[in-house]
Amino acid sequence: MKKIIEDNYQSIVDRGFIDPLTTRSDFFDKIDEEVQELKDASFKYDLQNVKEELADVIMVCLNFAKHYDFDIEQQIKDKIEINKQRAKDGR
């Protein structure tokens, strides 16, 4: 997963869409844009485009995590454990 995250991030940096001045607000705007595109594709029942737009949403989120040096892989693992515990607790 780390290689996917790094390759994805670097490809967007190389295209000039992310730089040291990119803000959280910039990422949130991009996430909003990609989520809207995912919704649009879903409402049109365009399965291939849904898959592509879902990947875009995930990739922007991974870029956000990489940009701010979050270990998102560990965060996901931790969240899975929290969800497992909630399931055991009946929540």
Residue for token digits 């991030």? 9
Question: How large is the average pLDDT for residues 10-39?
Answer: 97
> What residues contact 24, with CB distance under 8 A and at least 6 apart?
64, 68
- 27 has a pLDDT exceeding 90: yes
What's the rounded mean pLDDT across residues 37-66?
Answer: 96
pLDDT score at 3: 96
CATH of the domain at 53: 1.10.287.1080
The pTM (predicted TM-score) of the whole model is: 0.89
Total domains in the fold of the chain: 1
Q: By residue range, what is the domain housing residue 30? A: 2-88
Give yes or no for residue 91 having a pLDDT over 80. Answer: no
The residue assigned the tokens 């001045």 is 21
Number of Cβ within a 10 Å radius of residue 76: 12
Cβ neighbours of residue 1 under 8 Å, at least 6 residues apart? 73
